[in-house]
Amino acid sequence: MKHRLTVAQAVVKFLAAQWTERDGAEQRAIAGFLGIFGHGNVAGIGQALLQAQRDNQPEMPYVLARNEQAMVHTAAGYARMRNRLSTMACTTSIGPGSTNMLTGAALATVNRLPVLLLPSDVFATRAATPVLQELEDPRAGDVSVNDAFRPLSKFFDRVWRPEQLPSALLGAMRVLTDPAETGAVTLCLPQDVQAEAYDFPDELFAKRVWHVTRPAPDPLAVERAAAAIRGAARPLIVAGGGVIYSEASAVLDRFARETGIPVADTQAGKGALAWDHPNAVGGVGATGNPVANRLAGHADVVLGIGTRYSDFTTASRSVFQHPAVRFVNLNVAGFDAGKLSALPLVGDARAGLTALRPALHGRRFTGDFRDDVAAWQGAVEKAYRGDMAYPGKKGELPTQAEVIGVVNEACGARDVVVQAAGSMPGDLQRLWRVRDPKQYHVEYGYSCMGFEIAGALGIKMADPGREVYALVGDGSYLMMAQELVTAIAEGVKLIVVLVQNHGFASIGALSQSIGSQRFGTAYRYKTAATGDYDGARLPVDLAANAESLGAAVIRCRTATDLAEGLKQARESERLTVVHIETDPLAGGPSSEAWWDVPVAEIATLHSTRHAHAGYLEEKKRQRHHLRPGDRS
């Protein structure tokens, strides 16, 4: 049997029939479409989505986004909340509509999150080339702007002819649903091909279930890993995002209790264990806490689970200082399992821990880190109350740590906090007391300003029963606030906490630390004398801006106001923006770890020369981690 459909109709019909299954639970693999129409897709995917709605085919919801980059963030937020078992498709027009998605594609691939990108492409027939928004390459007739997606995608195809569609779709689904491979998947759909009819084989549209398995590591690798851990004196576990995606928290909990090994976490892994779990020591690395970092400094065997070992996790390879430290990496992706010359355990986090547990033959470790963790939590309490000594603090404005404390207290156990860039990710990783594996959503793989509101929209759509709090800096807000309008149109309630500090607190502090005196990081009037933005504050009212977009807005001045504002926001049905101004110069307690940001080697400025001398000292602590992981 054949089914005569346009290519776009076939894409929609096929995607509506794709399911994933893990541990016996099925869900739609592609929950819906996000899109912005233009001449590239209005007659293709646009028509197909309309027809799907009218014909009562399996439902394919459509969400009109306001910016193409943002809609990829929304799909990525959705996928992360669904532990990568379900995501959304993104349809765009050709040219700028497509290239606006590039940043989102990179974010998804860096964070190992599945998103399906369907940029439209120029005419396959080239009947009237160049069409509006076509980039011409005099050297190559088959190049379009969409080729820029190639290095950002884990799978890329361009459907020049309808006959190619089945293999392109199946290839896309295979990569989207493979936890080891997943990331951005891009299928470019030329605008004429989208509207072209073809007799597709019927079986292409049958319900298809992509079974997401839990590969167990090779038994000999488990033996080698167990021997390394049994022989350790001071092991440490680093829990990454893979623990959460694999839903391995309960197994990790038991593993940690039985072995006594302390568990540190990464930004993506925060929530793997609740903050008050007896083995939890909090974040490790540049945005971690001093207790976890001291344990890392002395660890002789590090069991990394589901982590990609970013420079923040390793403090630019300076946090693991034991002279003979070796790594055992449990990861579903061989690429990540092999990092830091580790002994690789390639497999699912839950299956791997389950296999590793009996192989340890009851080995227990009795490190005493709990008093240190308790002392650190005392410091967190003080920061939450604004009760720290802040060298830079001048006025009466609340500190960012106080804001985080108030939001943390307002959050129910299952509520979600969303963040991505600026000074908040560091403060959140250090200070946030996480209670649930899906509570903490800080996008710190790509750390993309502007992710927060768009990502929060996807998170809330993925799990509408949870209250979702997006913490947004003024810099991020000014980059990408427009998805407030999308959320309002869709009836998706978010609570947005807009933290106004008149510029880049994060990069300001970084600039100062590398001797560049916060140059060019404040949102103020420019003064001619210095060429810098050190004039009066700008007459910007972001709360009024949010109001003008249709949000309910609550303006707060103090931490007490904020607690009251959040209470009102929770009780309201409306998307609410809670606005508060904070002191940009009052940081939180330090991680006491380093981050490698090179300082100018020569400079006329004393501040830069001074910073460079400090940099050379820190640089000495950087390790290579080349020692083979499997030596005995």
Would you tell me which residues interact with ligand TPP (CB under 6 A)?
Answer: 421-424, 447-450, 473-476, 501, 504-507
- Of 448, 441, 458, 442, give the one whose Cα is nearest residue 65: 458
Q: Find which of ligand TPP, Mg ion, none residue 447 binds, CB within 5 to 8 Å per kind.
A: ligand TPP
* Identity of the residue numbered 335: F
Smallest distance from the beta carbon of 502 to Mg ion, in angstroms?
A: 7
Smallest gap from Cβ 584 to Mg ion, in A, equals 7
Q: Which is nearer to Mg ion, 459 or 472 (CB)?
A: 472
Shortest Cβ 376–ligand TPP spacing (Å): 23
Residue (133 or 501) nearer to Mg ion, CB: 501
Nearer to ligand TPP, 305 or 420 (CB): 420
The nearer residue to ligand TPP, 346 or 448, going by C-beta atoms, is 448
Nearer to ligand TPP, 450 or 455 (CB): 450
Residue 508 CB, nearest approach to ligand TPP (Å): 7
Which of the ranges 76-84, 186-194, 235-243, 467-475 carries the binding residues for Mg ion, by CB under 5 A? 467-475
By Cβ distance, which residue is nearest to Mg ion? 473
Judged by CB under 5 A, which of 290, 386, 473, 588 binds Mg ion?
473
Considering beta carbons, is residue 429 or 506 the nearer one to ligand TPP? Answer: 506
According to DSSP H, which parts of 231-275 are helical?
241-245, 249-259
Selection from ligand TPP, Mg ion, none that 506 binds (CB < 5 to 8 A by kind) is ligand TPP
Q: Which does 313 bind (CB under 5 to 8 A by kind): ligand TPP, Mg ion, none?
A: none
* Residue 581 interacting partner from Mg ion, ligand TPP, none (CB closer than 5 to 8 Å by kind): none
- Per partner kind, with CB cut-offs from 5 to 8 A, the member of Mg ion, ligand TPP, none near residue 111 is none
Q: Which is nearer to ligand TPP, 449 or 593 (CB)?
A: 449
State the Cα angle at 17 between 14 and 163, rounded to 5°.
Answer: 20
Residue in 142, 564, 15, 463 with CA at minimum distance from that of residue 441: 463
Q: What is the DSSP letter of 183?
A: S
424 binds, among ligand TPP, Mg ion, none (CB under 5 to 8 A by kind): ligand TPP
- Binding range to Mg ion, per CB under 5 A, among 114-122, 474-482, 556-564, 614-622: 474-482
Q: Give CA separation, 303 vs 35, 235, 236, 353, in Å.
A: 42, 7, 6, 10
For residue 507, the minimal CB distance to ligand TPP (Å) is: 5
- Shortest distance, CB of residue 383 to ligand TPP, whole angstroms? 16
Rule CB under 5 A: is residue 400 a binding residue for Mg ion? Answer: no
Sign of the Cα torsion 581, 477, 449, 283 reads positive
Strand partners of residue 21: 26, 211
Q: Is the previous residue joined to 130 through a cis bond, with omega within 30 degrees of 0? A: yes
Torsion of CA 174, 176, 181, 185, to 10 degrees: 110
Least distance from ligand TPP to the Cβ atom of residue 492, Å: 22
CA 63 to centroid of chain Cα atoms:
21
CB of 451: closest distance to ligand TPP in angstroms?
A: 9
> Which distant-in-sequence residues (6+ apart) come within 8 Å of 34 by Cβ?
62, 63, 65, 71, 74, 75, 88, 89, 90, 91
Nearer to ligand TPP, 273 or 507 (CB): 507
Residue 99 C-beta: closest distance to ligand TPP, Å: 15
Burial class (CB in 10 A: 0-12, 13-18, 19+), 435: middle
In the complex with ligand TPP, the residue whose CB is nearer, 155 or 384, is 384
Query: Least CB distance from residue 475 to Mg ion, whole Å?
Result: 5
Beta bridge partners of 470: 418, 496
Left if phi > 0, otherwise alpha if psi is -120 to 50, otherwise beta: which for 115?
A: beta
Binds 449: which of ligand TPP, Mg ion, none (CB < 5-8 Å by kind): ligand TPP
243/580 with CB nearer Mg ion: 580
Check: CB of residue 603 under 8 Å from CB of residue 611.
no
Q: 504 is written with which tokens?
A: 């880049």
What is the largest distance, in Å, between two alpha-carbon atoms of the chain? 78
Binding partner of 79, given Mg ion, ligand TPP, none, CB within 5-8 angstroms per partner class: none
HSE at residue 268, side-chain half, CA atoms within 13 A, is: 29
Inter-residue contact 473 to 501 (CB < 8 Å): yes
- Does 474 bind Mg ion (CB under 5 A)? Our answer is yes
Name which of 411 and 585 has its Cβ closer to ligand TPP.
Answer: 585
What is the DSSP secondary structure assignment for residue 537, as one 8-state letter? B
Cβ contact 503:532 at 8 Å: no
Residue with structure tokens 């939890």?
Answer: 280
Within 13 Å and on the Cβ side, how many CA atoms surround 295? 29
The reply to whether 501 sits near Mg ion by the rule CB under 5 A is yes
Q: Distance between CA 128 and CA 484 in Å, rounded?
A: 39
User: Which region among 273-281, 344-352, 393-401, 466-474 touches Mg ion (by CB under 5 A)?
Assistant: 466-474
When the beta carbons of 355 and 420 are compared against ligand TPP, the nearer one is 420
Q: How far is the CB of 72 from ligand TPP (least distance, A)?
A: 13
Q: CA 436, CA 434: separation in Å to the nearest integer?
A: 6
Contact residues for Mg ion, defined by CB under 5 A: 473-475, 501
